[in-house]
Amino acid sequence: MISVIKYKDLGGADHGWLKAKHHFSFASYYDPKRMGFGTIRVINDDIIQSKTGFDPHQHKDMEIITYVREGAITHTDNQNNKGRTKAGDIQVMSAGSGVIHSEYNLENEKTNIYQIWIMPNKIAVKPRWEAKEFPKQKVTTHLNCLVSGFGKNYVDGSIGIYQDAYIYGGKTAKNSEISYKIINQAYVLCSFGKISIDEKVLEKGDGAEVFNEKKILIKSQADSEVLVIDTPK
């Protein structure tokens, strides 16, 4: 079963410096039917204006993944971590026992990110932060594994998190077809472009919940960018 969630139907808020769309209940947006998907608690589609950002604030016991789609984001925290993550790359923060961090767009252009929160399978861990660059060339046969869970299911070359979840992604060329074998259940994001999943169409900003399917065929109807978040139920 595949259920498409259109960008126009997402919750959200416009704060001037931040235009946010929420795939699940978050902040002032609340829908009891949209409280998460498996271990995914939050997917925010954020546009952050130049020279603005999120002031220092605290998190605890959450795996917070930021995928940068346009521009760049600069992270600092009270664990002496600091780094700049640019378009096509990912940063991961395990909030664990508690961390205070800030996220700013210090660029001269807007920044567009996916902010993804995944509930951990281990709590009160020592906070950590990691960022990684990934290949930018278009994929033709498979999506890159960007994030995977620590332990026996960890995929070499990805960033580890404290949950048996995976994030696969990549840029795809028009008319390409990529088959993805689902491990648990999947939430698919069309970052830009236009794709179809078993004939159901997603355009920029749309998402899709995939239940009870062993694999999906992702067809690109235009040059696109796709993320697949494979999460335990």
pTM of the full structure? 0.97
User: What is the spatial order of strands in the sheet that 72-77 belongs to?
Assistant: 52-59, 99-105, 72-77, 82-86
> Within 13 Å of residue 21, how many CA atoms lie on the same side as its CB?
18
DSSP lists the bridge partners of residue 213 as: none
With 90 as the cut, is the pLDDT of residue 55 above it?
yes
Which CATH number covers residue 128? 2.60.120.10
Residue for token digits 């002496």? 80
DSSP state letters, 123-171: -SPPPEEEEE----SPBSS--EEEEEESSTTPPTTSEEESSS-EEEEEE
pLDDT digits (tens, 9 = 90+) for 141-187: 999 999 999 999 999 999 999 999 999 999 999 999 999 999 999 99
Q: From CA 190, how far away is CA 2, in angstroms rounded?
A: 14
Provide the domain count of the chain: 1
Q: Range of 74's domain?
A: 2-231
pLDDT digits (tens, 9 = 90+) for 21-49: 999 999 999 999 999 999 999 999 999 99
pLDDT digits (tens, 9 = 90+) for 192-204: 999 999 889 999 9
